[in-house]
Amino acid sequence: MSGKVTRRNFVKGSILSTATLAAGVSAPEVGAAPSPIKQGSKNTLPKGKIKDLEISRMLLGGNLLTHYTHSRDLQYVYNLAKHYNTDEKMMDTMALAEENGIDTLSIHNPPQAIAMLKRYRKERGGKMKWIICPTAPIEPGLAKYTEAVQRLIDDGADAIYLWGVHADALVQAGKFDLLGQAVEVARAQGVASGVGGHLLDVVVACEKNKVNADFYIKTLHHHNYPSAKLNYDSMWCSQPAETIEFMKNVKKPWIAFKTMAAGAIPPKSAFQYVLEGGADFVLAGMFDYEIEENVRTLKELLAANPKRDRPWLA
């Protein structure tokens, strides 16, 4: 028998062995490589297409992966998310999403997040597709924006869309020419190019001015939650009924985001409203422990053939 058995060593080893046996797995080797992704191991989600890009009906939202929580004036929540969603935890979250059939995420482009996405593909063998909105400024000539788009495509982005914050501002300023030019930047690189927006006016302006967007990422959620009346970092679709009505006649794929109003609306209520409202895809920000239940909820709603006036456009 090699090595002296002390009370501390015995207790430590016993605890590890008990926990390992209870979990039904063998103890991992120190420094062992992460397990490979098993795509679709818990069945798959229905899918739709944006041009040639096939994606799951539910997309993983990027805000929680970049620690942005829409927590109003509760400053500790951001730090809590930051401490929980480490790079390793974010990669675990994407792996779990893939195992449950979510094959696409939407995120903006802070350097740390893009580096983490690249690591996930390289180190974990992840196949998660990226729909990314560059935050580079939209200004005459679009030099910085074009550079950012090209860099993201070189890094592996599967589709690009104009950040909703920028699109809202461009429409409010009447700069429809820049909005259209920004869309063409990504289209010229051969990837699907969309427009994001919190304001219904964004989609209205794009349709009126014949902006050549391949898809829209537009907010949609109902107002049946207590903090909606505050409208203080708590509402992102101020005209849900009007949005649903206008989108009936928009013949382009629609990814609905802010569907749960940053966690204020229960998933079943949120997803049912969005599907019946005509969206083709549901974009949902989720922590890892929420993914399996949310996917199951969406699949049940889809299987029930939701009543909708808008045809599926993807």
Summarised one tens digit per residue, pLDDT across range 243-293 is: 999 999 999 999 999 999 999 999 999 999 999 999 999 999 999 999 999
Would you state the pLDDT for residue 41?
62
**Cβ neighbours of residue 234 closer than 8 Å, sequence gap 6 or more:** 70, 72, 227, 228, 261, 262, 264
Q: What is the reported pLDDT for 43? A: 66
Q: Do residues 217 and 257 touch, judged by C-beta distance below 8 A?
A: yes
| In the chain, % of residues over pLDDT 90 | 79
Mean pLDDT of the chain: 88
Start-to-end CA distance of the chain, whole Å, equals: 66
> Which positions ≥6 away from 198 have C-beta within 8 Å?
164, 165, 168, 218, 219, 236, 237, 258
Average pLDDT over residues 156-168: 98
Which pTM does this prediction carry? 0.87
The DSSP letter of residue 43 is B
Asked if 218 contacts 257 with a C-beta cutoff of 8 angstroms, the reply is: yes
- Model pLDDT, residue 38: 59
Q: What pLDDT band is residue 174 in, cutting at 50, 70 and 90?
A: very high
Polymer length in residues for the chain? 314
Q: What's the pLDDT tens digit per position in 17-59?
A: 333 323 333 333 333 344 455 555 666 899 999 999 999 999 9
Average pLDDT estimate for 131-141: 97
Facing residues of 219 across strands? Answer: 257
Query: What mean pLDDT is predicted for residues 162-170?
Result: 98
Dihedral sign computed on CA atoms, order 179, 180, 182, 183: positive
Query: In the prediction, which pLDDT does 69 show?
Result: 86
Q: Which two tokens stand for residue 176?
A: 């429809």
Residue appearing with tokens 């090699």: 2
pLDDT digits (tens, 9 = 90+) for 150-161: 999 999 999 999
pLDDT of residue 9: 41
Asked if residues 163 and 194 have their Cβ atoms less than 8 Å apart, the reply is no
Q: Are 12 and 6 in contact (CB under 8 A)?
A: no
Record the tokens describing residue 242, joined without a space: 């009007």
Query: Closest by alpha carbon to 314, among 279, 286, 288, 269?
Result: 279
Token digits for 247? 């989108």
pLDDT for the residue 10: 33
Region of 204 please: left (phi>0), alpha (psi -120 to 50) or beta. alpha
Write down the pLDDT at residue 226: 94
Does residue 3 register a pLDDT over 70? no
| Residue 63 confidence (pLDDT) | 86
- Confidence category of residue 66, pLDDT binned at 50, 70, 90: confident
Which of these, 302, 300, 265, 301, lies nearest to 284 by C-alpha position? 265
Record the tokens describing residue 244, joined without a space: 């649903």
Confidence of residue 205 (pLDDT cuts 50, 70, 90): very high
DSSP, residue by residue, 48-98: EEETTEEEESEEEESTGGGT----TT-HHHHHHHHHHS-HHHHHHHHHHHH
Instruction: Retrieve residue 214's tokens.
Output: 């391949």
Can you give the pLDDT at residue 231? 85
From 84-88, 142-146, 147-151, 217-221, the region with the lowest mean pLDDT? 84-88
CATH superfamily label, 48-303: NADP-dependent oxidoreductase domain (3.20.20.100)
Q: What is the mean pLDDT of residues 202-223?
A: 98
Among 48, 52, 47, smallest CA distance to 191 is for 52
Q: Which of 159, 181, 171, 155 is nearest to 51 (CA)?
A: 159
